[in-house]
Amino acid sequence: MVHTKGKFDFIDIKTTPRPMLEHLMAVAQRLKSEFKSIGRNAPLASGKGLAMIFEKPSLRTRISFEAAMRHLGGTATYIAPEEIGLGKRESVADVARVLSGFCDAIMARTFSHEAIEELARYSSLPVINGLSDVSHPCQAMADLMTAKEHFGQLPGLTLAYVGDGNNVARSLMEACSALGLKFRIAAPKGYELEARSIKDAVATNPDFDFSASNDPICAVKQADIIYTDTWVSMGQEAQKAERLKIFGSYQVNANLLRAAPSTAIVMHCLPAYRGVEITDEVMDGPQSQVFPEAEIRLHFQKGLLAVQLAGV
């Protein structure tokens, strides 16, 4: 049991202590084993409700949170982008205050990271970041849980991220720092992770083994995990043509895999733009862990909800 003072918000990995990250993963693993062996979980969230605020589309995040609440005996309510007009029809603070009287936890997917922080500030409920322009902590933790299942342990592994220095890359970097993995990133000039985020990740772990370059081949040389994400994140659609040109040589394809150890696995948070940032051959190939990775979103988030709602 990891004790938290007051409610436990899960907004960023860098602000979540390492023992809590390890606890979340252990609880998630236990609930996954329970579910796989007997086809159900103990009703740890019986009678509880999760409000899910979405300003952007989603397949995995929405459905995996819904399934997690169902398996734990609770319910989840989907709130569509146009429905509450977060910060437009009503202030973020007022939405947070009102939901506090109806539900037991809030998950939010927003453009602005500050909106999620504000929900947490003004709500008495635990708040979960389901992706913002800045970070995607549930994704990164599910990803490292996938790697742990595959390799047996995390410390010492090398994760090489190839592509845009975006929300997913930032959370992966923070997770690698906190949990003892080495992190390599290859991104085009102008699309790297910014110095401030790197400094924060190093502050979490002064021994963090990090390197950044503009060279994908160099980044994957010692990789255990090769990771990519879309070159055009939600909200960046107007930059699509320009980005596709700039990122052309950052595709995860068979040629790139030949530069990495043959034991390396390939991951992608999805949705994937096949033939753009990743080829069919790689995504459907023997090194791909992309679909187990997607399923583990359910298990990690179930662990998170069990900790937040039942104090497991």
Per CB under 6 A, residues contacting ligand NVA are: 131, 166-168, 229-230, 233-234, 269
At which residue do the structure tokens 């090769």 appear?
A: 226
The verdict on whether 103 is a catalytic residue reads no
Residue 1 C-beta: closest distance to ligand NVA, Å: 32
The verdict on whether 209 is a catalytic residue reads no
Q: Where are the alpha helices (DSSP H) in 123-265?
A: 137-151, 167-179, 195-204, 216-220, 240-246, 254-258
List the one residue from 51, 108, 140, 269 that touches ligand CP (CB under 6 A).
269
Choose the contact partner of 59 out of ligand NVA, ligand CP, none; CB within 5 to 8 A by kind: ligand CP
- Cα–Cα nearest to 60, from 107, 113, 123, 23: 107
Question: Measured at the alpha carbon of residue 46, what is the angle toward residues 42 and 52, in degrees to the nearest 5?
Answer: 110
Q: Which is nearer to ligand CP, 54 or 208 (CB)?
A: 54
Catalytic residue among 71, 139, 299, 308: 139
The verdict on whether 299 is a catalytic residue reads no
Catalytic residue among 103, 229, 251, 289: 229
At which residue do the structure tokens 């007009």 appear?
A: 85
Residue nearest to ligand NVA (CB): 233
d(CA 52, CA 61): 10
Q: Which is nearer to ligand CP, 97 or 274 (CB)?
A: 274
- Amino acid letter for position 46: S
How far does Cα 227 stand from its chain's mean position?
13
Q: Which is nearer to ligand CP, 234 or 259 (CB)?
A: 234
Catalytic residue among 23, 60, 71, 136: 136
The end-to-end CA distance of the chain, in Å, is 7
Tokens of 59: 């397949």
Cis peptide, bond prior to residue 19, ω within 30 of zero:
no
Q: Which is nearer to ligand NVA, 115 or 168 (CB)?
A: 168
Tell me, residue by residue from 189 to 228, as one string, x for binding to ligand CP by CB under 6 A and - for no binding: ----------------------------------------
139 binds ligand CP (CB under 6 A): yes
Choose the contact partner of 230 out of ligand NVA, ligand CP, none; CB within 5 to 8 A by kind: ligand NVA
d(CA 47, CA 260): 49
At residue 289, the 3 state secondary structure works out as coil
Residues 92-111 that bind ligand CP (CB under 6 A): none
d(CA 255, CA 151): 24
Going by DSSP bridges, is the β-strand pair 210-213/225-228 parallel, antiparallel, or unpaired? unpaired
- Cα–Cα nearest to 225, from 132, 148, 312: 148
Tell me, residue by residue from 55 to 94, as one string, x for binding to ligand CP by CB under 6 A and - for no binding: ---xxxx---------------------------------
The verdict on whether 258 is a catalytic residue reads no
Choose the contact partner of 129 out of ligand CP, ligand NVA, none; CB within 5 to 8 A by kind: none
List, by residue number, the catalytic residues. 109, 136, 139, 229, 269, 297
Catalog residues that contact ligand CP under the rule CB under 6 A. 58-61, 131, 139, 269-271
